[in-house]
Amino acid sequence: MIGERRVVVLIDSGASHNYIGRKLTEELALKVTDTPAYCMSLGDGHRRMTWGRCEKVTVKVEGVDVEEDFYVFELGGVDVILGVAWLAKLGEVSTNWGKMTMVYKVGDKKICIRGDPSLSRQVVNARSLLKLVEADSGVVVWNLCKVEEENCSEWDDNVSESRKNNYRRCCRRTIPFFVNFRSFLQTKTESTATP
């Protein structure tokens, strides 16, 4: 949690820094220090401009207070990302991908973080998808129908070449249906914030 607010934390070794969602900063009235606008390179190759930093925010993860600086960013599906800026401070870390656990030491105390399996991505069939919709769940579905690549040749000259290339790239691969695009080490945590 941060303060009294439960948050979803993504531990991401692919993220260079720590990030906090802009909506969460507004909701919790966290102090955001102005920074020059900076460009974020995302894992999917896209770039996004953003600004702002929250300093010395305390997040309680598995009973341990983690005080870090966080760059403010529009996060989808998670509230906080703990990246390499935090992971590098932990020293040796043991990860069991099958059990969705991560173990490290703080002094002589072993800390074990357990991922929440309900936040993991999973392939679903059509019947399961309909049950999820009936249960009023949030579902993200990609690539519902196959479109033939030759359709690109029918586009007029107003469609940019980069858009045509993106379309072709999308058509070349099959994307399974996933519920929640979240990494396995995401976990709902308890945390407290420092003003």
pLDDT tens digits, one per residue of 113-125: 988 877 666 666 6
Residue 157 — pLDDT band, cuts 50, 70, 90? low
- Position of tokens 């800390």? 111
Exposed, middle or buried, 28 (CB in 10 Å: 0-12/13-18/19+)?
middle
| DSSP strand pairing (109-114 vs 101-106) | antiparallel
Per-residue pLDDT, 115: 85
Q: Give the chain's domains with CATH numbers.
A: 7-118+182-189 (2.40.70.10), 126-171 (no CATH)
Instruction: Give the angle subtended at the CA of 147 by the CAs of 134 and 140, to the nearest 5°.
Output: 30
The pTM of the full predicted model, rounded to 2 decimals, is: 0.61
Separation between Cα atoms, residue 84 and residue 88, nearest integer Å: 5
